[in-house]
Structure 1
Amino acid sequence: MSQNIKNKIEADGFAVVNEVFSESEIDTLLKTIADIDISKPTFRKTNDLFAIRQFLKEVPETIVIIFNKTLIALINSIFGENYFVVKSIYFDKPEDSNWFVAYHQDLTISVDKKLDIDGFGPWTVKHQQFAVQPPLSILQDNFTIRIHLDDTDEGNGALKVIPQSHLKGIYRPETIDWNMEKEVTCPVQKGGIMFMKPLLLHASNRTSNHRKRRVIHIEFSRITLPANLQWSEALQAETTLN
C-alpha cells in the first residue's frame, strides 16, 4: 500500500489516504481546538475563515493525537525517517463561507528571520511571520499533509488539483493551458489525509452545501537551511516523527 501511495505522489503530486484517524481521535482534536483562547495574533477569524498559524506551537496538546502510529508509519514508509515539521496551520471554513482560493503553488517557506542569502527571495512578512521563496530544490523535496476533520467534497471546498503540475517547476496559474491540463477534485473522508507536493497547482471553491470544512495543514522538510536561517517551527521535530 505505501509503495502505491509513494508512486502516486511522485507521479501526480498528491494522494488521498482515508481512515488514518479514528472518530474518537477526530472528536478529541475538535474539542481541544474549541477550548483554546483565540485572541492571539497567530489566530485569524472572519465570517469566511478561522485559521490558527503555527498550530502545533499554539496547540501542542494535539501533537500526540496527530502523530499516531498510523500516520508516523505512513510518513516513514513513504518519505523516510529524516523529515520534520516546518509549518502548521488549522483552517476552519464555515458552513456558509464565500472564501475561495484560486489556483496556486505553495512557493514560500516560514523562517525565523530575514537574511540576504543567494537563491532566497522574494521575502514577505505577514502576521509576525517571515516567509521567503527558497531554491526550487527545497520545494521539490518537501511535502504536505492535510488532515481532514470533516467529510470534504467539491461542495465544501475539497481541493482541486492539476495532476503532474508539480513536475513543471514554477508554473504560473495565468499560463495554464486547459487544452493540455486536467483538473481533478480530491474528496477526503473525515479522519483521512491528503498528501501533496508544494509545487502541485491547487485551488478551492466556495462552500455550496452548508457543511464545514476543517483541515490541519502540516508541511515537512528534511533540509537544513543555510547560514543562520532556521525553520520557524522546526522545534516540533523532536516530538513528532521519533
Structure 2
Amino acid sequence: MIEIDSHKIILETEGFSISKPLFSNEELKQMCDLIDQSDHNFAIRQLVLKVPKLQELIFNNDHFKNLYKSICDERYFLSKAIFFNKPKMSNWFVSYHQDLSISVKNKKETHGYSNWTNKNGQLGVIPPREVLENTVTFRIHLDDTNETNGALHVIPKSHNKGIIRVDETFNKNKLEKEVLCNVDKGGVMVMKPLLLHASQRSVSAFNRRVIHLEFCNQEIPMQWLEK
C-alpha cells in the first residue's frame, strides 16, 4: 500500500490516489448510523451541516487526519460535503465528467463564474479554473467498492488539461488509459475535481456508500455555502 507521505505526489501527478482502510468497522458503523438517522434516499447534500457529528468522528481518526495533513495545509477548509449511495443492483451509470460546480451562498455575477444553477434552493456555479485546481476531494468508502457495484473509472493525468468538453467529439482513447479504482471498505480515494471520472451500473447485491468531502483554499466573492 502507498505510504501516507506519497499520496500528495501521486495525487499531483495522476490526479488521484487510493489509501488502505483507515477507518475501523466500528467507526464506519457509527458513520452509517448517523447518516441513517437523516431523511434521505440515495444522497444527502450539505452533509456536515445536516449531520455535524460526522466531521468530528472523521477527524478523530488519526489515520485520516495524517492523510489529510499530508495533502492539505492550514489554509484549506471544507467547501462541500455529500453522502452518495449507489444501492445494490442500481441500473444507472454516470458517464465521464469533471466535478465543476461549487455550492455558494449568494448569486453575484462575477467575471470567471458561469453556468449558474439552482437545485432545490441550492445555488451552484462553475468557478475559475484556479478554484478547482486548488480543491481536493476525499472520498471515504463505507463499503468495499469494485467493478460490480460502481467503482469509479478514471483517466489519469486528465486533471492537468483544464476543463474538458465531454460531448459527441470526446474520445477518451486520445487520453491516458482508464483505470478502475477499487477501494476497500474504510479506505479513502483522494482526487482532484478536474480528473475525468465515471461509474458503471451496479450488478452487485451490495451498496456503494461514499462520504464525499471537498476542501479548498480559495475565497470567492459569493461566499461558500458550506464553509
What TM-score, normalized by structure 2, do the two folds share? 0.94
- CA shift for structure 1 position 64: 1.4
Aligned pairs (5 A) from 1:21-32: 21-32=23-34
1:107-142 alpha-carbon deviations (Å, 9 max, x no partner): 111100110111111211112110001000111111
1:67-107 alpha-carbon deviations (Å, 9 max, x no partner): 22222221112222221101111011111211211100011
Q: Across the two proteins, how many residue pairs are aligned to each other?
A: 222
Segments of 5+ residues of structure 2 without an aligned counterpart are none
Whole-angstrom CA distance in 1 between matches of 2:195 and 2:77: 20
Aligned to 1:208: 203
- CA shift for structure 1 position 179: 4.4
- CA shift for structure 1 position 173: 2.4
- 2:193 corresponds to which of 188, 193, 198: 198
- 1:52 corresponds to which of 44, 52, 72: 44
Aligned to 2:78: 85
Whole-angstrom CA distance in 2 between matches of 1:204 and 1:145: 17
Aligned pairs (5 A) from 1:41-190: 43=40, 45=41, 50-67=42-59, 68-174=61-167, 175-190=170-185
Whole-angstrom CA distance in 2 between matches of 1:147 and 1:158: 13
Amino acid aligned to 1:109: I
Is the deviation greater in 162-171 or in 174-183? 174-183
Judged with a 3 Å threshold, the aligned counterparts in structure 2 of structure 1 residues 35 and 230 are, in CA distance, closer, same or farther, namely same
Aligned to 1:239: none
What TM-score, normalized by structure 1, do the two folds share? 0.88
1:122-166 alpha-carbon deviations (Å, 9 max, x no partner): 211112110001000111111101100000001100000000000
Segments of 5+ residues of structure 1 without an aligned counterpart are 235-242
Q: SS of the counterpart of 2:173? A: coil
Aligned to 2:15: 13
Cα contact 2:4–2:66 (8 A) shared by 1: no
Cα contact 2:141–2:188 (8 A) shared by 1: yes
Cα contact 1:149–1:214 (8 A) shared by 2: yes
